Amino acid sequence: MLSKAQQILTDAMNADYAIGAFNTSNMEIAQAIVRAAVAKKSPVIVQTSEGAIEYAGLTMIAGVIKIIAQESSVPVIMHLDHGKSIETVKRCIDAGYTSVMIDSSTLPLQENIKKTAEVVAYAHARGVYVEAELGAIVGKEGVKDLHGSTTPDSFLTDPKQAMEFVEKTGIDSLAVSVGTIHGAFTGQEYIRFELLEEVQSAVSHIPLVLHGASGIASDHLQRACKGHVSKVNVDTELRVAFEKACGEYFKTTHESYDPRSIMGPARDAVQKTVEEKIDLLGSSGTSGIY
């Protein structure tokens, strides 16, 4: 079922688990994500970046996700990840997204507040959930190895600014920069838990969102979920699983090539990865309350 995020993420925050938010750009990955959620009886977030929308087309990718969601037995939130422009965010809301992220984190604080507040007004009038980011997460989404990239202190979320940002914008959840890296797979990723706890204390009434979770140690992710991190974004690990499965197919000779023989195992590999993440984040078995 296509669902709203409000109650689902609040419940996760209050019960110290997180909902996995998984990126898709095609039918197979979207199917894999939702099939994993059904298998684990968990709510799930299927999200698209602006790049995915450019690749597949907004009407097409939104339509695919909505059909898959409507046919599933678990709550599926359709989310825009890292919306950079107000126009894109509005287009996604009008296309049926139940949750959006406006990412103006590269702007000065007051400009970020102004732009985010405009999105909140538009989205809330239509019952749509809004996530925004304060601080900046280094790296590039989808990159597997950044070779030692780390987050400069100036990029990290300031707890005092977080309080002002949340109060003035009225956002529903806050994406924080606490050391994670987009696309990271270096073995050096870590979460600055002291900072995470300070931010959580400053904005304790709303869920926090962790981006760049690929490569983070399992016990660290579980610990983060105890600190009001209620949404965890995973993209790179899905891409790696998909690519490896496709690669295995081409290691052997085939008389004829059938796209289903390539994409099917890749879909299964992504589903397995999503199931493992859902278990790790603690949301397995929680869909029955909705």
Which CATH number, 3.40.50.150, 3.30.43.10, 3.20.20.70, 3.30.70.20, labels domain 6-249+258-289? 3.20.20.70
Is the pLDDT at 138 greater than 80? The verdict is no
pLDDT score at 136: 60
Name which of 229, 234, 253, 236 is nearest 176 in CA terms. 229
Strand pairing partners for 79? 47, 99
Of 21, 85, 19, nearest in space to 53 by CA: 85
Residues with catalytic roles: 81
In this model, does residue 289 exceed pLDDT 70? Answer: yes
- Which amino acid appears at position 190 of this protein? Y
Structure tokens belonging to residue 9 = 């993420």
Q: What is the pLDDT of residue 141?
A: 41
- Work out the pLDDT band at 185, boundaries 50, 70, 90: low
Measured distance CA(118)–CA(111) in Å, rounded: 11
pLDDT of 42 > 80? The answer is yes
Pair 98, 78: CB distance under 8 Å: yes
What is the per-residue pLDDT for 183?
Answer: 55
CA angle 144, 150, 156 (to 5 degrees): 120
Domain boundaries, the chain: 6-249+258-289
Is pLDDT above 90 for 154? no
* Two tokens, residue 19: 């909902």
pLDDT band at residue 153 under the 50/70/90 scheme: low
Average pLDDT over residues 32-36: 98
- Predicted pLDDT of residue 212: 80
Of the candidates 210, 211, 196, 222, which has an alpha carbon nearest to the alpha carbon of residue 276? 222
pLDDT tens-digit readout, 67-88: 999 999 999 999 999 999 999 9
Confidence of residue 186 (pLDDT cuts 50, 70, 90): low
Average pLDDT in the 250-266 region?
Answer: 89
Residue 246 is which amino acid? C
Mean pLDDT to the nearest integer, 195-203: 95
